[in-house]
Amino acid sequence: MKIYIDGKFYAKEDAKISVFDHGLLYGDGVFEGIRSYNRRVFKLSEHIDRLLESAQSIMLKVGMTKEQLIKATVAALKENKLENAYIRLIVTRGPGDLGLDPRKCCQGSTVIIIADKINLYPEKMYREGLAIVTVPTVRNLPEALNPQIKSLNYLNNILAKIEAANAGCDEAIMLDSLGYVAECTGDNIFVVKNGHLYTPPQCMGTLRGITRDSILEIARKNRIETHEHVITRHEVYISDECFLTGTAAEVIPVVKVDGRVIGSGKPGKLTLSLMKKFKELTVKNGVKY
């Protein structure tokens, strides 16, 4: 494994940045999780745009342009010689002193880790479906720390993940501050009712996921009615189908929520069809390397 740090490649053991980097001290930095399929990077442009938007929002200077970030990602993939990869792109605030003030940080680091896989959920869950649970920790308030910012501080989501694990589940539904369904810890959520597809809007506590947008696009192309609309827990419980989307998770069915069996208790027909169509999209599109 060769890891990119600021223009150079390092072996895993030698890939290090300062303990004074505010990325470590305060979670001050931004990141993206990206995938490649068949030597093509899926939605690379969209991921880089989102990274730069997160950086802009927290006034983090990224020392590279969009084109340079794309080039570096492609170079890191070539260096690692993987046909299918999970890519973690990180930009930190940089080393500073033991105080919050980011003005004291010099240039941050750009890190690209290329992994051969990321196993978010056990393989059999993709065939049988996940059991998930609503957890007490609500998603960050947009007026406090907007969930659109993919920052290195993921404690909000980690707390929810811990609560799901405590309840014996692999994933958590996080609500927004009004009590509506926001998203899961690293995935967006969809429900199907009477053939229509519903997912929460991005305005409250929901990240505008790139996989989410791909699913909406596939659905619209296939003349499935889509709705970006607030969803209550009740609406999840009475849905015909439920599934989660994310770069790491891809598309995974959900068959139980808070002990309620969803639909037939098996992955739904529309879910299975969208999983297949998403797979087809990933292998045919993206930046070649």
Catalytic center residues: 150
Cα–Cα nearest to 206, from 226, 225, 231, 223: 231
When the beta carbons of 209 and 286 are compared against ligand PXG, the nearer one is 209
108 binds ligand PXG (CB under 6 A): no
Is 186 a binder of ligand PXG (CB under 6 A)?
yes
Among residues 137, 151, 247, 271, the one that binds ligand PXG under rule CB under 6 A: 247
246 interacts with ligand PXG by CB under 6 A? yes
For the chain, first and last CA: distance in Å?
A: 17
Give the list of residues 6+ apart from residue 214 with CB closer than 8 angstroms, or none. 43, 245, 278, 281
Q: How many residues bind ligand PXG (CB under 6 A)?
A: 16
Where does this chain touch ligand PXG (CB under 6 A) — which range of 13-21, 239-247, 262-270, 272-280?
239-247
Q: Does 120 bind ligand PXG (CB under 6 A)?
A: yes
250: contact with ligand PXG by CB under 6 A: no
CB 272 within 8 A of CB 242: no
Is the separation of the CB atoms in 285 and 226 below 8 Å? Answer: no
HSE of 75, CA atoms in CB hemisphere, 13 A: 15
Stretch that binds ligand PXG, among 130-138, 208-216, 224-232, 271-279 (CB under 6 A): 208-216
Cα-based angle 226, 52, 96 (whole degrees, multiple of 5): 135
d(CA 199, CA 216): 9
Q: What is the DSSP string of 161-174?
A: HHHHHHTT-SEEEE
* 239 is a site residue for ligand PXG (CB under 6 A): no
Asked if 202 interacts with ligand PXG (CB under 6 A), we say no
Is 200 one of the binding residues for ligand PXG (CB under 6 A)?
Answer: no
Given 94, 133, 212, 267, the residue binding ligand PXG (CB under 6 A): 212
Residues that bind ligand PXG (CB under 6 A): 33, 120, 157, 183, 186-188, 207, 209-212, 245-248
